[in-house]
Structure 1
Amino acid sequence: MEYRYLLGDSLNVNNIVINKNQTLLALNISTEVVIFSMKTGMWISRYDGIPIEFVTLEDDSEGLIIRTYCNNETFTNF
């Protein structure tokens, strides 16, 4: 199996967020949130914005709060 890595020495990585089970990793790379599985190292998803925190809901499912910007306004999405 061939793996591709998104990180390089020239990239600036900010806002690293890990869920409480330490199975998901969300990184802010440039203007995007990139989510990886920490179990397999595989890329899961990508969104515009900045990762804020993983939250656990009453049914034990997890979500990621993401801050986004549009027309100089700030929005927080789940």
Structure 2
Amino acid sequence: MKAGVLYAKDDIRYADWPDFTPGPDMIKVKMRVCGICGSDLPRVLGDAAHFYPVILGHEFSGEVVEVGEGVETIKPGDRV
């Protein structure tokens, strides 16, 4: 999959990232729209990242493509 990855201060790249299978009580979402939040800016422009690499963009919407065991109220195809 692709992600906006911050590798170091001022080093953000649209890069390949390992795919995953959702575990229990987790869902996998294909992102359709993503925003960069004000809390992401200090990580990019300053020294606020606790670790590298870090994927940016936690404000998003998309479509559920896979659900983990125990997920009962959301199904593949749902928009979130």
Question: TM (normalized to structure 2)?
Answer: 0.29
Higher helix share: 2
**Larger gyration radius, structure 1 or structure 2:** 2
Question: Greater relative contact order (Cα 8 A, min sep 6): structure 1 or 2?
Answer: 2
Higher strand share: 1
Question: TM (normalized to structure 1)?
Answer: 0.29
